[in-house]
Amino acid sequence: MCSPPIATSSTKQKPLPLGALCKAVAISGVTLLFFYIFLFDKSSVNYQLPSNLFKTLEESFPAATSPLRSSPPTNLRHIVFGIVGSMNTWKAKRPYIEVWWRSNVTRGYLFLDRAPTPEFLPWPSSSPPFRVNEDFTRLKGYPQVRKLVQVRIVRTILETFREGDKDVRWYVMADDDTVLLVDNLVEVLEKYDHEKYHYIGMNSECVKSNFDFSFNMAFGGAGYALSYPLMAAVATKLDGCIERYPYIWVSDFMLQSCLADLGVALTQEKGFHQIDLHGDISGLLSSHPESPFLSLHHLDTINPIFPSMNRSESINHLMKSAKVDHSRLLQQTICYHRPSNWSFSISWGYSAHIYETIIPRSILRRPLETFRPWVHNARAPLYMFNTRWPSNNPCEAPHVFFFESIYQNNTIEGRQIVTTTYSRASQRGLPPCSSSGNHSADFISKIQVQSLPAKRLEARGIDCCDIVYEPDINTAQVIYRACMDGEIIA
């Protein structure tokens, strides 16, 4: 803002008007600016903008109106699996792989520490084709490597890529004691742009495991997915990362460090299950998060997931329901029978619980802590999720039923109905819930659940259900249907 001229006693000339003075100052400033631009010596400037700056920016940030490239939907043939195994344990782990591997359909390789012994030859088509891991002793950082077996594991990424498979969008890496739900994997990976860098997986269930390594790391036992361009990029950098981080003694952490150096962060998918747990994990599987079930790891460190079977039989039994309706597998549905004050919690294809009182969904979605943490003396907080303590209170303890059988039939309208049957594991051994109006469920020995095939989890929404039973019949029927407005509130 221009200030008026200050008059003095010696000033005889009439002062310029205020507007004229401001105009003169402005003209002088503009003149000096042009003088500076055209006459200033450019050779004295230390930094100049590159002449192709705007062209570079245009190439880096294309116009928003440019058309997106379209490609057909991702299918199983777009995925290559890299499985880490060992000849010392292959005999015991083989059933876990063969339950999900599909001959002439799935693509991938089992990487072993040494060639198979004669008892495993000829190699069957029911298992992935095997490869023997490369000798990595030539690496510069080899003498400093703390855990040689972990370097072998992480380099399986590089060796899987070097197989040179064509038309690949995703690489999925896992261990030989991991069961994968490949159809659900396809549905999940289809959500992501395979032409961009993606590192998709999940951390551990236990706080200590994540604290020891990284909360931003995909645990490799659970499995993780790398998009093709990211796999190509990390394949050129991996040996350098091993030499840079020879003190890292866990392969998953080494990979995460390498990817972080490339500027890539983990995208979490809750359906990958590391299972850093011990004991009975039925409480966890009976309250699965609302996301597709993708994997199950550490099967040899937990109890069989069905109490009347061994581990291998249990996994084969679970896959019976997966083959019929993979999207719905382990998805929790909660509904109520108001006349009896009963709450039903169904983990489809796995278990069913009846509670003799009305319990809100917010509580039933927390897993019952039937399991123990990976480290027995770990301090609380133990888990990455909230749990419920098992209880001997008859109003809080469930009647537990496990998946028994599945069959399909058509209705008059030609719609396919899937019926799963769940049988009581054992008598609860508690008196009935004493709350007013509640009824005992001791006489129920089976639960039948009827549903339409889910097709895709994200498309089906939240299920509600109707419960049908007669007091003198030992089977309760649960019929899935769409929820009505306001019904999902307990």
Non-local (6+) Cβ contacts of 114 within 8 A are 87, 132
382 and 455 share a domain? yes
What pLDDT shows up at residue 49?
Answer: 40
244 and 367 share a domain? no
At residue 62, does pLDDT exceed 90?
Answer: no
What pLDDT shows up at residue 23?
Answer: 56
118 and 253 share a domain? yes
Residue 469 is encoded by which pair of tokens? Answer: 């039973």
| Res. 21 pLDDT band, cuts 50 70 90 | very low
What pLDDT shows up at residue 136?
Answer: 79
**pLDDT digits 0-9 by tens, 142-169:** 666 667 788 899 999 999 999 999 999 9
**pLDDT digits 0-9 by tens, 232-261:** 999 999 989 988 888 888 999 999 999 999
What pLDDT shows up at residue 188?
Answer: 97
What pLDDT shows up at residue 12?
Answer: 41
Q: Which of 250, 268, 286 is the last residue of a domain?
A: 268
Q: Is residue 333 a part of any domain in this protein?
A: yes
Give me the CATH number covering residue 347. 2.70.130.10
Average model confidence (pLDDT) across the chain: 85
At residue 294, does pLDDT exceed 90?
Answer: yes
Sign of dihedral through CA atoms 103, 104, 109, 115? positive
240 and 363 share a domain? no
Question: d(Cα 27, Cα 62) in Å, to the nearest integer?
Answer: 41
Lowest-pLDDT range, 21-25, 195-199, 343-347? 21-25
What pLDDT shows up at residue 10?
Answer: 40
The CB-side HSE value for 402 (13 A sphere, CA atoms) comes to 15
**pLDDT digits 0-9 by tens, 77-117:** 999 999 999 999 999 999 999 999 999 999 999 999 999 99
Centre a 10 Å sphere on the Cβ of residue 62 and count the other Cβ atoms it contains. 8
Contact 312, 384 (CB under 8 A): no
Q: Is residue 24 a part of any domain in this protein?
A: no
- What mean pLDDT is predicted for residues 23-50? 46
Contact 197, 262 (CB under 8 A): yes
Q: Is residue 277 a part of any domain in this protein?
A: no
- What mean pLDDT is predicted for residues 36-54? 42
Q: Is residue 283 a part of any domain in this protein?
A: no
**Residue percentage of the chain with pLDDT more than 90:** 69
242 and 380 share a domain? no
What pLDDT shows up at residue 146?
Answer: 67
| Res. 70 pLDDT band, cuts 50 70 90 | low
Question: d(Cα 345, Cα 181) in Å, to the nearest integer?
Answer: 23
**Structural domain harbouring 206:** 76-268
In degrees to the nearest 10, what's the CA dihedral of 235, 239, 244, 246? Answer: 120
Question: d(Cα 268, Cα 202) in Å, to the nearest integer?
Answer: 5
At residue 67, does pLDDT exceed 80?
Answer: no
Sign of dihedral through CA atoms 161, 163, 169, 170? negative
What pLDDT shows up at residue 413?
Answer: 67
196 and 83 share a domain? yes
Q: Which of 219, 246, 268 is the last residue of a domain?
A: 268
Q: Is residue 237 a part of any domain in this protein?
A: yes
263 and 332 share a domain? no
What pLDDT shows up at residue 434?
Answer: 82
Q: Which of 252, 268, 284 is the last residue of a domain?
A: 268
Question: d(Cα 334, Cα 357) in Å, to the nearest integer?
Answer: 13
At residue 44, does pLDDT exceed 70?
Answer: no
- What mean pLDDT is predicted for residues 64-74? 61
Residue 354 is encoded by which pair of tokens? Answer: 């009846």
Q: Is residue 490 a part of any domain in this protein?
A: no
Q: Is residue 31 a part of any domain in this protein?
A: no
82 and 229 share a domain? yes
Question: d(Cα 255, Cα 238) in Å, to the nearest integer?
Answer: 8
> 172, 237, 159: which is closest to 199 by C-alpha?
172
What pLDDT shows up at residue 335?
Answer: 92
At residue 394, does pLDDT exceed 80?
Answer: yes
Contact 311, 304 (CB under 8 A): yes
Q: Is residue 276 a part of any domain in this protein?
A: no
103 and 238 share a domain? yes
What pLDDT shows up at residue 410?
Answer: 73
334 and 403 share a domain? yes
**pLDDT digits 0-9 by tens, 434-450:** 876 778 999 999 999 99
**Ramachandran region, residue 249 (left: φ > 0; alpha: ψ -120 to 50; beta: rest):** alpha
How many structural domains comprise the chain?
2
Give me the CATH number covering residue 151. 3.90.550.50
At residue 61, does pLDDT exceed 60?
Answer: no
What pLDDT shows up at residue 127?
Answer: 97
At residue 43, does pLDDT exceed 50?
Answer: no
- What mean pLDDT is predicted for residues 468-480? 89
240 and 342 share a domain? no
Cα of 232 vs its chain's centroid, Å: 22
What pLDDT shows up at residue 7?
Answer: 41
113 and 258 share a domain? yes
**Residue percentage of the chain with pLDDT more than 70:** 81
